[in-house]
Amino acid sequence: MAVANDGAPLGSTVIQLVNKLQDIFSRVGSQSTIDLPQVAVVGSQSSGKSSVLEALVGRDFLPRGNDICTRRPLVLQLVHTPSSQTESAEFLHLPGRTFYDFSQIRSEIQAETDREAGGNKGVSDKQIRLKIFSPNVLDITLVDLPGLTKVPVGDQPSDIEARIRTMIMSYIKVPTCLILAVTPANSDLANSDALQMAGTADPDGHRTIGVITKLDIMDRGTDARNLLLGKVIPLRLGYVGVVNRSQEDILMNRSIQDALVAEEKFFRSHPIYSGLADSCGVPQLAKKLNKILAQHIKAVLPGLKARISTSLVTLAKEHQSYGEISESKACAGQGAVILNILSKYSDAFTSMVEGKNEAMSTSELSGGARINYIFQSIFVRSLEEVDPCEDLTDDDIRTAIQNATGPKAALFVPDVPFEVLVRRQISRLLDPSIQCARFIYDELMKISHRCMVNELQRFPFLRKRMDEVIGNFLREGLEPSEIMIHHIIEMEMDYINTSHPNFIGGSKALEAAAQQTKSSAVSLPVSKLKDAVEPDKGSASERSVKSRSILARHANGGMVDHGVHAASDIDKVVHSGSTGGSSWGISSIFGGGDNRATVKENTNSKPHNDPVQSVQPSSIIHLREPPAVLRPSERSSETLAVQITATKLLLRSYYEIVRKNVEDFIPKAIMHFLVNNTKRELHNVFIANLYRDDLFEEMLQEPNEIAVKRKRCRELLRAYQQAFRVDP
Ligand SMILES: Nc1nc2c(ncn2[C@@H]2O[C@H](COP(=O)(O)OP(=O)(O)OP(=O)(O)O)[C@@H](O)[C@H]2O)c(=O)[nH]1
C-alpha cells in the first residue's frame, strides 16, 4: 500500500522514525508513543473527498460515485504491522473477521452504511471504524466525512445541511486535526463550503490544506492557476491541485497507480500547470502532509526525548538498587555490603533531616522542613494563641485572693494568688510540649521509612532489622527529651521570678488596673447592681464547682488549703444581700479612693467579727451555724475589681515571659536529645546491633522477585538507551 509515484506516500519521510520509536516502545510494553494528528477531508458532496483519501493511501477501497456515497463518517485507522507481510483490514462492527480483499471492504462499507442510514440517501453521524494493518503505513487516522449538501433528497431530513455541518465541525474543530478542504475546480471557490468550514474551525490556517479536484474537467479556456497560487482565497499552507479518477475511469476499473501516472502526465503537459509543479498532484499533497507531520513530530520529539531520558535515569537508579547478583552471595563481601548500606542509610537520614536530600520534593515540605514547621507553625503558634486568663473567671480570682489573705486583712497586695494562678497556667504548657516531642518523633520515624526505599527493596530482611533498630533507638531518644521537658516546665513552676526585667511588677499592675477600673466605672455599677438584686443562683453552683477546683489546684500547687475557713468566705455569708463590698488585704494600699469602702466594710463587719464582746445582759445572742461550703463574696467593690484586674495583668505579663522561654527551650531540648542525638549516634547504633557475622546470611537474603525485576529492568534500560539514540 504505497503511492507508486515519486516515492512520497503519506508519511513516508517520518514513517521510519516513528516506526522505530514505536517498535522500541512496543517491545518494552510502554505506553509512550507519538500521537500523530488525525487527517480529515471536508467538502461538498461529490467534490472528490473519498477519491483524494484513496489516492493518498494508494488502495481502492472506498465507495465513490456521482451521487452521495459517504453517508457516515469513516474513521480509517492505519496500523503499522512490521512483522506481517500481508495487508488486511478489520471493522469494529465485525470483530474477529479479517478482510484481505479490498473490494470486499468497499462492499462492507456500503452495506454497513445502509444498515444504519437506510438505503435511500439517509445520513448518520454514527462512525464506521476500519483498521487497516500493513507493514507500509504509519499509525495515523484518516477520516472521510459525508459531503455538505443543501437540498434534502431521499430520506434526508429537512435540516440535513445543519446536521452535516455539526457532524463535520465535531471532527475538524479538534486542534490536532489536519483539515483537507476539498473544492472541485469546476465550482466557485469563493463559495467553497470546505474553505468556509475550515476557516471557522481553524481561523489561523495552521492546519488547513486546500485541495482543488477535478482540474481535468474545468470549462475550456479556464484554469485554476490563481486558485492554486492562493490569489483568490489566501491560505497559509497553500493549495494542491489534483486529478482523480473520473467516474468513467472507475467504471473501467482503472487502477490508482494508472491514475497517478495519468495525473502526472496531465500536469506535465498542461501549459499552465507545468509551471506550478509544487502545487499539483497527489504526490505533492502527500509531500505537504508529510512535511506537516514531520514538523509535528519535531515539535513533540523533544518532549518525548525528555520523557525517555527521565525514564532512563529512574530505570538506571532502580537497576542500581538491585545491585549485582554476586554481591549478596560472596561471603567475604557480605560485611562490606552491610557496612556500606548502614553508612549510606545514616547519611541519607542526616541529609533528609538537614534538608540536603537530592530527591527533595518541590511539591510539599519534607524532612527537616517538617520538623521546623512543627516547632514554629504548630507549637509556637499554638502557645501564642493561648490566653492565660482564658479559663479564669473573675470569681476564680476573687476566691483565690480571699483565700490567700487568710483570717486577717492583708496589708499589701497578696502575691500568693498570683503565684498559684500563674503556676497553674505554666503547668498547662507541659502537655503541648510533650506533644511536640511526640510529633517530632513521628516525623523522624517517617524520615527513617523514606530512607533508601529502593535500595533496600532488595534486602527485606535487612530492612526489617534496621527498622527495628531505628524504632527502638528513637523511642529511647524520646525519653530523655520528655524528662528534659518536664524539668523545664517544673523549673518554671518552681521559681516565679518576679524580679524578671520584663515583668510588670505589683505596683505597676495596680496602677494600670486602677486606671482601667476607673475608666470602666461608668458602665460597671449597672451590672453590679443587677448582680446584687438578682443573684444568679444557677451560676453560683457553677462557680462553687470552679472555686473548689481552684482550691484543689492550690493544694497541688503547694498552698495550704485554709480556704474554707477564710475570713472572706465568712464575710460573704454574713453580708449576703448587703451592697457593701469586701476589701481585704489589698485595700490598705489604695489610700483615698477606697477609704469609704474600707470604712463601710469595717463598720459592717465589726459586730460579726467580734460577737463575743457584744454582751447583751437581757438575752443570749445565738450565732447562725456557718454553712458547710462557703463561697467568696459575690458583690464587687472597686477595690476588688482593681485586685482582679491587677492579678490578670500580672498573670499575662509573667505568662508572656514563661511562654517565650518555653518556646525557645522545648525545641532546643527536642533537637538536642532526640533529633541531633539520632543523627550523631545512628551509625554507631546500627553497627553495634547489626554488624554481626551470625546475621549477615539472613539479612542479605534476596527474594526471588528481585531477580525477576533486575532482569526486566535491564531489558527496559537497553530499549530506552536505544530510543534515546534515535535521531529525527
Ligand atoms: N474527472 C474527475 N472526476 C473526479 C475527480 N475527483 C473525483 N471525481 C469523481 O467525482 C465523483 C465523486 O467523487 P468522490 O470521491 O466519491 O467524492 P466525495 O466527495 O467523496 O463524495 P461524497 O462522499 O458522496 O460526498 C466520482 O465519480 C469521482 O470519480 C477528478 O479529479 N476528476
Given strand 208-213, what is the order of strands in its sheet?
88-91, 128-134, 74-80, 140-144, 39-43, 178-184, 208-213, 239-241
Q: What is the 3-state secondary structure (H, E, C) of 404-444?
A: HHCCCCCCCCCCHHHHHHHHHHHHCCHHHHHHHHHHHHHHH
Ligand 1 contacts CB of residue 46 (under 6 A)? yes
Q: What nine digits make up the cell of 689?
A: 546491633
Pairing of strands 128-134, 178-184: unpaired
What is the structure's pLDDT at 692? 83
How many angstroms does the Cα of residue 66 sit away from the middle of ligand 1? 6
Q: Give CA torsion, residues 488, 491, 493, 494, to 10 deg.
A: 170
At residue 290 the predicted structure's pLDDT band, cuts being 50, 70 and 90, is confident
pLDDT at residue 120, rounded to an integer: 74
For the chain, how many structural domains are there in total? 2
pLDDT of residue 660: 92
pLDDT at position 330 over 60 = no
ipTM rounded to 2 decimals: 0.98
**pLDDT confidence of residue 145:** 92
Across the range 232-236, mean pLDDT stands at 90
Pocket flag, ligand 1, residue 554 (CB < 6 Å): no
Q: Is residue 269 part of a domain?
A: yes
Decide whether any atom of ligand 1 lies within 6 Å of the 670 Cβ.
Answer: no
pLDDT band at 364 (very low <50, low <70, confident <90, very high): low
**pLDDT above 70 for 84:** yes
In a domain? residue 728: no
pLDDT at 23: 62
Residue 299 falls inside a structural domain: no
**Ligand 1 center to residue 246 CA distance, Å?**
7
Q: What is the pLDDT of residue 609?
A: 42
Distance 166 CA to ligand 1 centre (A): 22
**339 and 288 part of one domain:** no
H/E element holding 614?
Answer: none
Confidence of residue 331 (pLDDT cuts 50, 70, 90): low
Say if residue 668's pLDDT is above 50. yes
List, for residues 33-76, the tens digit of each pLDDT value: 556 678 899 999 889 998 998 888 877 777 776 666 788 999 88
Identify the pLDDT of residue 9: 52
- Do 48 and 188 reside in the same domain of the chain? yes
Answer whether 9 contacts ligand 1 (Cβ < 6 A): no
pLDDT digit string, tens, across residues 190-213:
889 999 999 999 999 989 999 999
In short, whether 245's Cβ falls inside 6 Å of ligand 1 is yes
183 lines ligand 1 (CB under 6 A): no
Alpha carbon of 363 to ligand 1 centroid (Å): 57
Q: Which residue has its alpha carbon closest to ligand 1 atom 26? A: 65
Q: For residues 529-555, give the mean pLDDT.
A: 36
409: domain CATH number? 1.20.120.1240
| Residue appearing with cell numbers 547489626 | 690
Q: In the structure, what pLDDT confidence band is assigned to residue 728 with cuts at 50, 70 and 90? A: low
Contact criterion met (CB below 8 Å) for 276 and 228:
yes
For the residues 176-198, what does the mean pLDDT come to? 90
For residue 131, give the 3-state DSSP assignment. Answer: strand
Q: What is the structure's pLDDT at 695?
A: 82
pLDDT band at 14 (very low <50, low <70, confident <90, very high): low
Mean pLDDT is lowest, of 221-235, 533-547, 586-600, 640-654, for: 586-600
Nearest protein Cα to ligand 1, atom 31: 214
Q: Give the per-residue pLDDT at 521.
A: 56
pLDDT digit string, tens, across residues 604-619: 433 444 444 444 556 7
Mean pLDDT of the chain: 76
**Most confident of the ranges 52-56, 181-185, 707-711:** 181-185
Q: What is the pLDDT of residue 413?
A: 56
Q: Does residue 334 surpass a pLDDT of 50?
A: yes
Q: How far is the CA of 55 from the centre of ligand 1 (A)?
A: 12
Say how far apart CA 604 and CA 623 lie, in whole Å.
Answer: 16
Q: Is the CB of 251 under 6 A from ligand 1?
A: no
Task: Give per-residue pLDDT as tens, 133-147.
Answer: 887 666 678 899 999
Ligand 1 atom showing the smallest separation from residue 182 Cα: 19
Q: 585 vs 285, which has greater pLDDT? A: 285
pLDDT at residue number 548: 31
pLDDT value at position 611?
A: 42
Residue type at 507 in one-letter notation? S
Same domain, 390 and 468: yes
Is pLDDT at 153 greater than 60 in this prediction? Answer: yes
Measured from the CA of 215, which atom of ligand 1 is nearest?
A: 31
CA dist., res. 245 & res. 252, Å (int)? 10
For 39-144, strand residue ranges (E) read 39-43, 74-80, 88-91, 128-134, 140-144
pLDDT for residue 221: 80
Residue 37's Cα: distance from chain center in Å? 31
From the CB of 637, is ligand 1 less than 6 Å away?
A: no
Q: Are 280 and 343 found together in one domain?
A: no
pLDDT of residue 649 exceeding 90, the answer is no
CATH of the domain at 97: 3.40.50.300
Question: For 690-694, which contacts have Cβ atoms below 8 Å and span 24 or more sequence positions?
Answer: 690/338, 690/342, 690/462, 690/465, 690/466, 690/469, 691/335, 691/338, 691/339, 691/342, 693/335
**pLDDT given for residue 512 in this prediction:** 78
Which whole number is the average pLDDT over 95-114?
90
Specify whether 243 is located in the same domain as 378. no
Kindly give the pairing relationship between strand 140-144 and strand 74-80: antiparallel
Where does the pLDDT of residue 111 fall: very low under 50, low under 70, confident under 90, or very high at 90 and above? very high
CB 48 near ligand 1, within 6 Å: yes
What is the reported pLDDT for 658?
A: 92
SS3 168: helix
Which residue owns the Cα nearest ligand 1 atom 3?
Answer: 246
For position 726, what pLDDT does the model report? 65
Any atom of ligand 1 within 6 Å of the Cβ of 244 = yes
Protein residue whose Cα sits closest to atom 21 of ligand 1: 46
Mutate to test the pocket of ligand 1, among 42, 44, 45, 46 (most ligand atoms within 8 A of CB): 46
Cα→Cα distances 99→58, 90, 106, 110, 128, Å:
17, 6, 11, 15, 15
Residue 547 lies in a domain: no
**Quick check: is 44 in a domain?**
yes
What's the rounded mean pLDDT across residues 481-500?
A: 91
Per-residue model confidence (pLDDT) at position 645: 81
In a domain, 221, yes or no: yes
Q: How far is the CA of 184 from the centre of ligand 1 (A)?
A: 9
**Average pLDDT for residues 427-439, to the nearest whole number?**
92
Same domain, 380 and 270: no
CA of 124 to the centre of ligand 1 (A): 20
Burial class (CB in 10 A: 0-12, 13-18, 19+), 231: exposed
pLDDT bracket for residue 560 (50, 70, 90): very low
Mean pLDDT score, 687-711? 83
The set of residues, in sequence order, having a beta carbon less than 8 Å from that of 471 and lying 6+ positions away, is: 445, 448
Interval between CA 259 and ligand 1 midpoint (Å): 13
213 CA distance to ligand 1 middle (Å): 8
Which amino acid residue places its CA nearest to atom 13 of ligand 1? 48
Ligand 1 centroid distance, CA of 229 (Å): 23
Over pLDDT 90: what percentage of the chain? 23
With a 6 Å cutoff on the Cβ, whether 216 touches ligand 1 is yes
pLDDT given for residue 598 in this prediction: 35
The pLDDT score that the predictor gives to residue 606 is 39
Let me know if residue 385 belongs to a domain: yes
Do 390 and 464 lie in a common domain? yes
| pLDDT in the model for residue 664 | 92
Residues 83 and 141 in one domain: yes
The pLDDT score that the predictor gives to residue 574 is 33
Tell me, in angstroms, the distance from the centre of ligand 1 to residue 65's CA. 6
Are both 349 and 228 inside the same structural domain? no
Q: Is the minimum distance from the CB of 113 to ligand 1 under 6 angstroms?
A: no
Q: In whole angstroms, how far apart are CA 66 and each of 43, 63, 155, 255?
A: 14, 10, 18, 18
Looking at per-residue pLDDT, the higher value among 719 and 545 belongs to: 719
Looking at the structure, tell me whether residues 288 and 345 fall in a common domain. no
Residue 602: pLDDT band with limits 50, 70, 90: very low
Tell which of 293, 324, 359 closes a domain. Answer: 293
Farthest-apart Cα atoms in the chain, separation = 155
Q: Which of 218, 244, 280 to mutate to test the pocket of ligand 1 (most atoms within 8 A of CB)?
A: 244
Residue 549 has pLDDT above 80, yes or no: no
Looking at 259, 293, 327, the residue that finishes a domain is 293
Judge if the beta carbon of residue 632 lies within 6 A of ligand 1: no
Pocket probe for ligand 1: among 64, 71, 187, 214, the residue whose CB has the most ligand atoms within 8 Å is 64
CA of 181 to the centre of ligand 1 (A): 14
Co-location of 106 and 244 in the same domain: yes
Domain of 436? 335-517+636-716
pLDDT score at 632: 61
Predicted pLDDT of residue 592: 32
Give the residue from 337, 366, 362, 368 showing the smallest Cα distance to 350: 368
**pLDDT higher than 80, residue 101:** yes
- Tell me, what's the pLDDT at 721? 79
Q: Does the predicted TM-score (pTM) go above 0.80?
A: no
pLDDT of 159 strictly over 70? yes
pLDDT at residue 11 tops 60 = no
Residues 388 and 270 occupy one common structural domain:
no
Q: Is residue 622 part of a domain?
A: no
**Final residue belonging to a domain, choices 267, 293, 319:** 293
